[in-house]
Amino acid sequence: MPVTLNLDSASCGTNTATQVSLSCDSAVGAWVKRGDPADPDISEDACVDFASDGESLAALPALLSDSVDLSGISSGDVWLEIGVYAPASAADGCPEISALDDHMIAYGRTSTTDISNASRGVTLIVSCFAVDTGLTMDTCTADCAETHTYCPYAAESGPCDLIVDDCYNACAADDEPCFAACDADWDVCIDDQPTPCDDVLTPCLDECTGDLTCEDDCYEDYDDCVAMNCETLNDTCVARCGVVEDATCASSQ
């Protein structure tokens, strides 16, 4: 299955996969999941070697397309999650993404997709974990705290609103081209965000067929999902700060 790669510019410092380079070989874990995002079932998993020394994350889609076989999975809504571990070998296995292993340099997921309608491929949203982006520990933790405070109000826009606010503040008054560039960066950032709560809300509302009580239940579940994700994203952000200064295998240029 063809895989397209989008990088989360907020964590990677770039949205261009060729600008995240690796200086050692790695292993890539891939999990096809379905069901409740908080406690999903795993339909298929794989751990494969990635000859990444001297390569960049741009080589990931070809590896996944060649190494992850989805043909035996029954129809229904699923998503793909991946973790890139370096230095690592598939012979040692791939820790689950939620373990936040200190060898994990990047992680990602696709939107929930009906596998029977995904013959054209899927888009993988990849965030950086142990990648040297030039951040210091103090700056990193301050960014995490600001994003966490704003998270419930931003729903699934993640740090994008905060990034565009900073961009606007750096523009001179009445500098319309600068404001337009900020808007373009916001669009890119939004496209880079995984939206697990929206992925669950949309089919839930479709099943309600106008039942207002049912729709209220869907929105309540959505709010609970957003609150849970805010905590999960903050835990991940803080954990990333603990390794980002020591990252030696991957860097963002």
* Domains of the chain by residue range: 3-134+245-252, 137-240
Q: What is the pLDDT of residues 171-213, one digit of tens each?
A: 998 899 899 998 888 887 777 666 778 778 888 898 998 899 9
* Rg of the chain in Å (alpha carbons): 19
- The rounded distance, in Å, linking the Cα atoms of 77 and 44 is 13
Q: What is the pLDDT of residues 203-243, one digit of tens each?
A: 889 899 889 999 999 999 888 888 888 888 888 888 888 88
For 6, other C-beta atoms within 10 Å of its C-beta total 18
Q: What pLDDT does 179 receive?
A: 92
Q: What is the pLDDT of residues 86-123, one digit of tens each?
A: 999 999 999 988 888 878 999 988 877 776 665 667 78
Stated pTM of the model: 0.74
Q: What pLDDT does 214 receive?
A: 94
Q: Which residues contact 140 (CB under 8 A, 6 or more apart)?
A: 237, 240, 241, 244
- The rounded distance, in Å, linking the Cα atoms of 44 and 33 is 7
Q: What is the pLDDT of residues 20-69, one digit of tens each?
A: 999 999 999 988 888 877 778 888 888 999 999 999 999 998 888 887 76
